[in-house]
Structure 1
């Protein structure tokens, strides 16, 4: 991205999509339609999370982008099912702690615990 504001704005766009996908009232109903909607919601969350973290990784000079990505991983990282993505998320969080001093050890432990049962 050419400017920090663009990075932040695009992250906020993806974050809004994630929040709306998670809190869709249609997901609480029973039946085949809501089941499909839950799967679609999960795809939106994964896509948004990947974009938010990707923007942070590719714009390391934008500190608030890094913080937003670490928060998204803390709240939505349990959606990651691919082992390579899980390892990349851990590496990203470890880098955040090393580089910025933002404590991520508890988040890493919680994510690893969540992923064990998958």
Structure 2
């Protein structure tokens, strides 16, 4: 559904998904049906931006790293000390991870679409 090029295609994919899973997870399928009108505006975004929106693993991972870094240090004497720890956490490379640099594949095309679509908001254009 997330990668469907049109609304009709997304509806067809949801119908296939619902047919396969409604017997096992009726509450989940009912929730999708209730919230479909909330999901549909998502399909107005270009595919590159859609991927950026629905893939939140990087964001969740960074938030977990922030929590771990601040939890280990307890209290901070001032806001600058806390910001320094967060800054160093962002810069820390994770060599034991599948993506140690933290780079996002296809970021140039995503940035190009963002600048064309929302350049005025980003201060790029």
Q: TM-score, normalised by structure 1?
A: 0.30
Q: Which has the larger radius of gyration?
A: 2
The structure in which a higher percent of residues are helix is: 1
What is the TM-score when the length of structure 2 is the normalising length? Answer: 0.29
